[in-house]
Amino acid sequence: MIKYFQKGFNYNHDGPGNRLVIHLNGCNMHCPWCANPEGIAPFSEKMKTIAVDELVAEIISCKSLFFDGGGVTFTGGEATIQFDELKATLKLLKQHGVNTAIETNGTHQNLASLFEYIDILIIDLKHVNSQIHEKTTGIASELILKNIEKASLMHPNVIVRITLVNGFNTSENDLAQFLDFTKTINAKFEFLTYHEYGKGKWKELNMPYTVGNGFVSKETLAMFVKAFEENNIATIQT
């Protein structure tokens, strides 16, 4: 059985084209700006369950809607928390020619075993400095960096997403650390900026929302994009 809390279509955001996006329950991080805090805990009031075969059949029935290079994207929460169920689902979907993508925080030690079943691999990179990463998210970054390095060598279509949050990863020193790591990575990099879309959810769940002013200026975003491009690091414009 797969546990999820939301699913629906989204165009050209969670991967290319029109995609069925399935949010799986559970996450091993506790990012204070999370837009889907209802997916952090393994169980929640919004959680539903579905058998792998039933979910695969539902996805296959939607194939006519996967236009412009679309398909299915598994996100979260953290999709790899339900690793065995996710892998079984991906394997069946590939047998039926469905374009697959996952959005992951990159913390699973066996992430590479999914690569052959994933057409698009989207990995978050929140901070290179492991101590800062662990202090803020609850998880160190060493394994994430290793998985990104491994993915850049083994997978043909990797997108690394960097969410910029004021006071967390937007200083010139932070930028220098990102550049030092990413200059050897064969992937495309996408910058997102902090928003408060999930703030109301935190309040509804009686969870403290601790981010003060996380907003990032256009100038800061431009500084990061320019620095990456000047270092010949491929970026995706959103």
Q: Is the dihedral of CA 189, 193, 194, 196 positive or negative?
A: negative
Please state the separation of Cα 80 from the chain's center in Å: 11
Average pLDDT over residues 74-84: 96
Helix axes 172-182, 218-230, angle to 10 degrees: 30
Q: What are the beta bridge partners of residue 190?
A: 161, 236
pLDDT tens for 177-194 read 999 999 999 999 999 999
How far, in Å, CA of 163 to CA of 43, rounded?
26
Core vs surface per residue 125-159: b (16+ CB within 10 A) or e: bbbbbeebbeebbebbbebbbebbeebbeebeebb
Going by CATH, does the domain composed of 2-236 fall within 3.30.300.30? no
How far, in Å, CA of 162 to CA of 164, rounded?
6
What does pTM read for this prediction? 0.94
- State yes or no: pLDDT of 43 exceeds 80: no
How far, in Å, CA of 93 to CA of 91, rounded?
5
* Domain segments of the chain as ranges: 2-236
pLDDT tens for 132-180 read 999 999 999 999 999 999 999 999 999 999 999 999 999 999 999 999 9
pLDDT tens for 83-127 read 999 999 999 999 999 999 999 999 999 999 999 999 999 999 999
Phi first, then psi, for residue 72 (nearest 5°) are -120, 140
Average pLDDT score, the chain: 95
User: What helix, strand, coil percent values describe the chain, rounded to 5?
Assistant: 40, 20, 40
SS3 label, residue 193: strand
Copy the structure tokens of residue 158.
């990797």
